[in-house]
Amino acid sequence: MDYREFFSQFRYLSERPGIGGRIKVYPEDFVVIEDPLPSILEGRKHAIFLLKKRNWDTMSAVKEIAKRAGISHRDIGFAGTKDRHAVTYQYISVPAGAKETVENLRIRDIELRFVSYGRFIKLGHLLGNRFRVIVRDVDENAFERSRDVIGELRVKGGFPNYFGYQRFGEKRVTNHLVGKLLLRGDFENAARLFLGAHSGEMEGDEARKHFWETGDVERALEEFPNFLRYERTLLYRYRETGSWRKAFLSLPLPIMRIFIHAYQSYLFNLYVSRRIEEGLPLNEALVGDIVVQVKEGIPYRDRTYRVTETNIDFVNEKIRHGQAAVSGPLFGFAVRRAGGIPGGLEEEILEEEGLTVDAFRKLPKPMAEPGGRRELLIRPIGMTYGYIPETGMCFRFFLPKGVYATSVLREIMKDH
């Protein structure tokens, strides 16, 4: 199953026809510019660089920079991962002593420009990202159709805030399924899926297919290409310990958490889609909903309050003025649960999945997830768009951190 088939289960909010087309035909069609927190420039222990990359994922770029500079990749900080099939601009921090070495690096499709001294940049140290996206292979009606969809969603309060396909895998849509197996304590089948699932379209698929069929670890270590480094780490650790649990715990923390985060994201998407399907409002709070505060278009997901019979009119007035947003659950052991009809829907989804939130607590400590809340709708800030003859539609907009441009475009394109 590819990502288009996977995403077809999630409902569109808009009912107008889409423009179709294709994104990311060329890396230059998808430009991402990070807006960092100003606080990254406080301090002197780290050198802050603006990293421009093309056809690199963030982790691979960071590891290559670290290797060439003779430092550990753990000493390089960044605020968020960026698309591979794109041209992206983001800020990284390196130890101040490595400034000159990094400044003099020459790596294909990577540019590094020293900005200032500052602090170590951690995940989340950003306000959001600016996007410029070209949608190709559309006809001359694309502008009017875009206008119709965007106008309809403006009335409905925004775009569904689905997690994008990058969260789950483009060719191998398995990250959330691995996460579900880990939550059930089934490390063996989680490993089998992570190592053996194959699409038939990717390098290394033959080796994955052999492992799926045989479970032969020694053969896999001979056949898995070196670029599948996390898979090889898992295999080596299993050979050493005989434990798939210990093998998973040997992975770098961000990789280990990808699977749990993907499953949380899947459940959130399911909640948004089910709410649309059942005719429950996304832009109006119901009694029992949990609402997040919004300031100047940026949601503050750690500032939440429950909707009651007493405050519902006040809350919905805040929502209408863009100062609050209805939220959905990122399930975890400490997630603030909704009540009323929204709470019933949350419970229904957990029951269908055969889970309780306590499962997130029983994970090995590095994987344990407290959970949180996420706004159901997002309003792209400063959205402009236009048709470029012989090229396609060009969209420009800003999104807060953690929001996917591909999910905004999905509503406009109706391609999956």
Catalytic residues: 83
How far lies 302's CA from each of 121, 290, 313, in Å? 20, 11, 22
Helices of type H across 11-87: 58-69
Task: Record the tokens describing residue 378, joined without a space.
Answer: 């997002």
Within 10 angstroms of residue 167's Cβ, the number of other Cβ atoms is: 23
Q: What is the spatial distance between Cα 66 and Cα 135, in angstroms, rounded to a whole number?
A: 35
Other C-beta atoms lying within 10 Å of the C-beta of residue 350: 17
Q: Rounded CA gap, 108 and 198, in Å?
A: 29
Q: Interior CA angle at 87 toward 86 and 92, to 5°?
A: 115
- Is residue 281 helix, strand or coil? coil
- The secondary structure of 93-110 as a DSSP string is EEEGGGHHHHHT--BTTE
Residues 6+ apart with CB under 8 A from 117: 41, 43, 44, 45, 46, 47, 48, 96
**Tokens representing residue 198 in the block:** 């194959």
Exposure string for 169-208, b = 16+ CB within 10 A, e = fewer? bbebbbbbbbbbbbbeeebeebbbbbbbbbeeeeeebebb
